[in-house]
C-alpha cells in the first residue's frame, strides 16, 4: 500500500510540488542566443523595480537546475510547476527556433523525469518576447497565432511534458501591465486593458487547439482567484462586490466556460469596452482539461466611486494577520474559491497551482535551518482547506506551493521572500526553511501530519 492509498482524503495520484516561473528564477536571460523579454527590458528601466533589481542572475537556476531538481527530490515532490521563457526558445517571438534555449528545457525535463517528478509546464508566465512587444504585444490580434505557433514548438519538443498550462494569471497581465502600469509593459490605459484581456483569451484558446492536435497531452489555464466578500449588506456594497468579482474572477472564466463576458464589464469600462466579434467567444470556449487556481488572499469590498474600473475598494481587515505584501491571511477563502468554481463552472479537474506567502524570515540560518513559523501555519491551514474541498466533492488533483525558492518578486525585486527554500543571493546557497520540511512531511504522510499540528 502506498502512502497515498493509506489516506483517502488526498486522492491517489495527487500532485505535490512547488511552482516557479522562468524570469523569476532562471537568470542568464540572454544566454546561448536567447532574445530579450519585455521583463528584461522593464527591469532594466531605471525606477521601475524596487532596489534597481533585475532577473539577470536571480536564482541562477539556468546553471543550477540539477541542484534544484535534487532539492525537490529530497523534499519528496512528485511534481514541479515551472514556466518556459518564450524568448529563450524563439528569440524574435516567432519564426527561428533557438535550439540551445530549447535544450535547456529538454535537460530540465529529462532531469525531472529521472527524479520521478512530473513536469507541469506553463507556456506564458508574463515574460513576453520584446520583439513581440514592439509589434503591440497583447494588443495585437495576431498574437493568438504567434502564441499557438510557440505552443506547437514546445509541445513537440518536450514530449515528456504531459500537462501544459497556457497562461499564468491573465488578469494580472492586464491589470498590472496595461491598466496600473506596475508590471511589464507598464502601460496605464483603460482602453487597452480589455483588448489585452480579450487577446490573452484568444491566444489561450488557440494554444489549446495546438496542444489538442498532439496525442496524450492535457492542457489548461491558470488563473488567480480572490473571493470577494461584501463589507456590509448595503445595496451599494453588494453591487461593488459583484463588480470586483466580475473584473477579477469572472472576466476570464466566464468566457472560457460559458462563452460570454460577465455583463458587469461593459458597464464598468463604459466607452473603453470594445465590441468583440461574437465568433471569438466560440473559439475562447474551446474545452480545457483542467483549471489551475492561484490563491493568496481574499478581499472584503466596499463601494468606492473613485476606484476605476470597478468602483469598488478593498477594506483592510485590521484584526487579521497580513503578509509582507499586505495580503490578508485567510485560508477559508481557498475553500470558498474551490467550491465556487465547481458550483459555477462544473466538475472540472482543479489544481491549486500557487499558494504561499512572503513573510520576514530571519536573515541567518539557525542550527535547524530557517525558522518560518508563519509560513508553516499558512501552508498547514491552506492544505487543510484544500483537503476540506476534496471532502466536499471538489475534484482537486494537486497542490503547488509558491514558491520553491526565494526569487525575483517582479516590481518588488528581491525584497519579498516567498520561498519554502531560502536563497542567499550572494552565494546562491539554498537552505530549506522549516516550511519546506513541514511540506515534505505532509507529502510523505499523504496529509496525515496535517491532523497532528496545532
Contact residue for ligand BGC among 78, 85, 224, 249 (CB under 6 A): 224
Q: Which one of 133, 169, 226, 264 is the catalytic residue?
A: 169
Is 323 a binder of ligand BGC (CB under 6 A)? no
Is 127 a binder of ligand BGC (CB under 6 A)? no
| Whether 360 contacts 324, CB under 8 Å | yes
Q: Which one of 133, 226, 264, 354 is the catalytic residue?
A: 354
Which 3 state secondary structure label does DSSP give 355?
coil
Cell numbers 524570515 label which residue?
361
Rounded least distance, CB 276 to ligand BGC, Å: 26
Is 294 a binder of ligand BGC (CB under 6 A)? yes
Rounded least distance, CB 357 to ligand BGC, Å: 9
Is 402 a binder of ligand BGC (CB under 6 A)? yes
Rounded least distance, CB 194 to ligand BGC, Å: 20
Is 150 a binder of ligand BGC (CB under 6 A)? no
| Whether 181 contacts 189, CB under 8 Å | no
Is 21 a binder of ligand BGC (CB under 6 A)? yes
Report how far apart, in Å, the C-alpha atoms of 228 and of each of 44, 236, 292 are. Answer: 35, 14, 19
| Whether 164 contacts 124, CB under 8 Å | no
The question of whether 328 is a catalytic residue gets the answer: no
Which 3 state secondary structure label does DSSP give 220?
strand
Is 122 a binder of ligand BGC (CB under 6 A)? no
Q: Residue 159: name the closest of 114, 226, 106, 234 by CA.
A: 106
Contact window for ligand BGC (CB under 6 A) among 74-82, 88-96, 166-174, 274-282? 166-174
Rounded least distance, CB 391 to ligand BGC, Å: 27
Q: Which is nearer to ligand BGC, 7 or 21 (CB)?
A: 21
Q: Beta partners for 18?
A: 80, 401
CA angle 85, 53, 248 (to 5 degrees): 60
Report how far apart, in Å, the C-alpha atoms of 87 and of each of 29, 95, 151, 238, 389 are. Answer: 9, 11, 12, 44, 38
Q: Which is nearer to ligand BGC, 58 or 240 (CB)?
A: 58
Rounded least distance, CB 193 to ligand BGC, Å: 17
Contact window for ligand BGC (CB under 6 A) among 25-33, 43-51, 87-95, 165-173? 165-173
Rounded least distance, CB 19 to ligand BGC, Å: 8
Residue 454 makes CB contacts below 8 A (sequence gap 6+) with none
Rounded least distance, CB 444 to ligand BGC, Å: 26
Q: Residue 77: name the closest of 104, 110, 113 by CA.
A: 113
Cell numbers 500532485 label which residue?
15
Q: How many residues bind ligand BGC (CB under 6 A)?
A: 11
Report how far apart, in Å, the C-alpha atoms of 423 and of each of 111, 364, 389, 411, 440 are. Answer: 21, 11, 33, 19, 18
Is 166 a binder of ligand BGC (CB under 6 A)? no
Going residue by residue from 353 to 372, which x/- string records binding to ligand BGC, judged by CB under 6 A? -x------------------
Q: Residue 226: name the closest of 292, 126, 300 by CA.
A: 300
Q: Which is nearer to ligand BGC, 273 or 414 (CB)?
A: 414
| Whether 51 contacts 415, CB under 8 Å | yes
Is 98 a binder of ligand BGC (CB under 6 A)? no
What is the chain's alpha carbon radius of gyration, rounded to the nearest angstrom? 21
Is 163 a binder of ligand BGC (CB under 6 A)? no
The question of whether 324 is a catalytic residue gets the answer: no
Is 53 a binder of ligand BGC (CB under 6 A)? no
User: Which residues bind to ligand BGC, rule: CB under 6 A?
Assistant: 21, 24, 168-169, 172, 224, 294, 354, 402, 409, 418
**Residues taking part in catalysis:** 169, 354
Amino acid at each position: 500500500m502506498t502512502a497515498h492509498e493509506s489516506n483517502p482524503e488526498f486522492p491517489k495520484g495527487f500532485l505535490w510540488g512547488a511552482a516557479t516561473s522562468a524570469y523569476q528564477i532562471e537568470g542568464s536571460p540572454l544566454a546561448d542566443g536567447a532574445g530579450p523579454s519585455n521583463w528584461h527590458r522593464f527591469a532594466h528601466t531605471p525606477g521601475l523595480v524596487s532596489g534597481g533589481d533585475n532577473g539577470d542572475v536571480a536564482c541562477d537556476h539556468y546553471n543550477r537546475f540539477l541542484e534544484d531538481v535534487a532539492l525537490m527530490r529530497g523534499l519528496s515532490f512528485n511534481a514541479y510547476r515551472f514556466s518556459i521563457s518564450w524568448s529563450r526558445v524563439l528569440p524574435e517571438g516567432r519564426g527561428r527556433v533557438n535550439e540551445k534555449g530549447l535544450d535547456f528545457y529538454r535537460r530540465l525535463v529529462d532531469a525531472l523525469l529521472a527524479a520521478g517528478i512530473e513536469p507541469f509546464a506553463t507556456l506564458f508566465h508574463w515574460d513576453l518576447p520584446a520583439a513581440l512587444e514592439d509589434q503591440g504585444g497583447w494588443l495585437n490580434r495576431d498574437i493568438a497565432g504567434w502564441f499557438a505557433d510557440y505552443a506547437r514548438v514546445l509541445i513537440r519538443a518536450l514530449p515528456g511534458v504531459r500537462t501544459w498550462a497556457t497562461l499564468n494569471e491573465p488578469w494580472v497581465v492586464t491589470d498590472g501591465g496595461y491598466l496600473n502600469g506596475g508590471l511589464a509593459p507598464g502601460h496605464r490605459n483603460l482602453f487597452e486593458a480589455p483588448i489585452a484581456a480579450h487577446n490573452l483569451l484568444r491566444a489561450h484558446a488557440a494554444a489549446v487547439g495546438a496542444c489538442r492536435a498532439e496525442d496524450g497531452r492535457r492542457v489548461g489555464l491558470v488563473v488567480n482567484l480572490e473571493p470577494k466578500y461584501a463589507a456590509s449588506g448595503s445595496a451599494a456594497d453588494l453591487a461593488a462586490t459583484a463588480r470586483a468579482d466580475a473584473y477579477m474572477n469572472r472576466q476570464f472564466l466566464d468566457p472560457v466556460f460559458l462563452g460570454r463576458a460577465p455583463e458587469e464589464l461593459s458597464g464598468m469600462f463604459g466607452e473603453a469596452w470594445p465590441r468583440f466579434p461574437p465568433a471569438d467567444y466560440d473559439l475562447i470556449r474551446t474545452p480545457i482539461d483542467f483549471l489551475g487556481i492561484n490563491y493568496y488572499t481574499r478581499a472584503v469590498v466596499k463601494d468606492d466611486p473613485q476606484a476605476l474600473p470597478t468602483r469598488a475598494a478593498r477594506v483592510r481587515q485590521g484584526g487579521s494577520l497580513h503578509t509582507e505584501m499586505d495580503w490578508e491571511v485567510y485560508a477559508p477563502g481557498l475553500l470558498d474559491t474551490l467550491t465556487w468554481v465547481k458550483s459555477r463552472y462544473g466538475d472540472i479537474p482543479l489544481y491549486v497551482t500557487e499558494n504561499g506567502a512572503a513573510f520576514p524570515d530571519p536573515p541567518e540560518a539557525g542550527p535547524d535551518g530557517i525558522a518560518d513559523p508563519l509560513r508553516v501555519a499558512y501552508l498547514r491551514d491552506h492544505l487543510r482547506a484544500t483537503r476540506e474541498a476534496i471532502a466536499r466533492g471538489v475534484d482537486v488533483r494537486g497542490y503547488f506551493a509558491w514558491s520553491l525558492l526565494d526569487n525575483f518578486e517582479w516590481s518588488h525585486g528581491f525584497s519579498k521572500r516567498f520561498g519554502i527554500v531560502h536563497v542567499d543571493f550572494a552565494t546562491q546557497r539554498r537552505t530549506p526553511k522549516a516550511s519546506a520540511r513541514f511540506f515534505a512531511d505532509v507529502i510523505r504522510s499523504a496529509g496525515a501530519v496535517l491532523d497532528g499540528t496545532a
